[in-house]
């Protein structure tokens, strides 16, 4: 996804999050984040938005902690969240293409990194807010979801901090069935994730019709795979074949903190 597309999607996701949080109420439980209420979700996401905006606007080249979460609640908290989200969007829109600041995952540029990271941060927590409200989730486009799968697999879980490890090597394959084929149609996007005692390695496959078998396969829409990998949907949201223990290994150990 282009940087401008990520920023536009980030703007929309933040508005959806605030609307769902307001409708659910600050004391509503967040089923996708056990132990959290909506107030905790809004404080956390708003703090992350301000932290990222500060890195972008100030051009900090080394890690700097955020200012922490505010002791706000109710409408005052939502107003604070909306202001911080708006500031982040405006900071990314105004940032130069050659922005130089600290990042923590591989990306074509710091601006590309922060636009992408904050989009997926906000999308996942928007899903949390809508889950607290109940009812249907706002759809995630296939392009948006595919990009998020790539970030999670080849970014977050390629790091030494990933806890998705096993003494017995296993293979997890992911099939997203609604990727664009470049000609206006749809095709499969496929990743092979190799699990071992080291951090997972993920490869986006080509020629997906001739792949060796995997220990476990998850198949579904890009949105379904994306939200399942982030533990925002249950494994039942996708089609699972093979050894369910491999999928459970991912679900139990993949949380990003």
Each residue's pLDDT, cut to its tens digit, for the chain (257 residues) gives 899 999 999 999 999 999 999 999 999 999 999 999 999 999 999 999 999 999 999 999 999 999 999 999 999 999 999 999 999 999 999 999 999 999 999 999 999 999 999 999 999 999 999 999 998 999 999 999 999 999 999 999 999 999 999 999 999 999 999 887 666 677 789 999 999 999 999 999 876 668 899 999 999 999 999 999 999 999 999 999 999 999 999 999 999 87
Confidence at residue 182, expressed as pLDDT on a 0 to 100 scale: 66
Cα→Cα distances 71→43, 58, 121, 151, Å: 8, 25, 22, 32
pTM: 0.95
Q: Do 80 and 70 touch, CB atoms closer than 8 A?
A: yes
SS3 state of residue 177: strand
Confidence at residue 106, expressed as pLDDT on a 0 to 100 scale: 94
Cα→Cα distances 14→81, 110, 185, Å: 9, 21, 30
> What are the residues whose beta carbons fall under 8 Å from the beta carbon of 193, sequence distance 6 or more?
153, 171, 172, 173, 174, 200, 201, 202, 250
For residues 42-76, one letter each, b for 16 or more C-beta atoms within 10 angstroms of the residue's C-beta and e for the rest, the string is bbbbbbbbbbbbbbbbeeeeeeeeeeebbebeeee
Question: 254: buried, middle or exposed (CB in 10 Å: 19+, 13-18, 0-12)?
Answer: middle
């Amino acid at each position: 996804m282009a940087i401008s597309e990520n920023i536009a999607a980030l703007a929309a996701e933040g508005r959806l999050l605030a609307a769902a949080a307001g409708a659910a109420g600050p004391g509503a439980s967040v089923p996708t984040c056990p132990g959290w209420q909506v107030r905790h979700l809004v404080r956390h996401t708003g703090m992350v938005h301000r932290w990222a905006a500060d890195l972008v606007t100030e051009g900090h080249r080394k890690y700097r902690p955020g200012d922490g979460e505010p002791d706000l609640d109710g409408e005052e908290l939502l107003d604070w969240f909306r202001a911080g989200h708006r500031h982040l969007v405006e900071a990314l829109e105004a940032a130069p293409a050659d922005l130089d600041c600290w990042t923590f995952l591989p990306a074509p540029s710091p601006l590309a990194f922060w636009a992408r990271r904050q989009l997926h941060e906000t999308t996942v927590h928007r899903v949390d807010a809508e889950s607290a409200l109940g009812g249907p989730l706002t759809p995630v486009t296939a392009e948006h979801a595919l990009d998020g799968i790539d970030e999670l697999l080849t970014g977050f879980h390629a790091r030494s901090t990933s806890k998705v490890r096993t003494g017995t090597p296993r293979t997890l394959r992911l099939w997203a069935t609604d990727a664009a084929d470049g000609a206006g149609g749809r095709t499969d996007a496929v990743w092979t994730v190799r699990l071992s005692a080291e951090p997972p390695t993920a490869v986006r496959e080509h020629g997906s019709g001739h792949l060796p078998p995997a220990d476990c396969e998850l198949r579904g829409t890009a949105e379904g795979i994306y939200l399942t990998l982030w533990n925002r949907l249950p494994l039942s949201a996708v089609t699972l074949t093979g050894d369910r223990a491999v999928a459970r290994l991912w679900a139990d150990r993949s949380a990003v903190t």
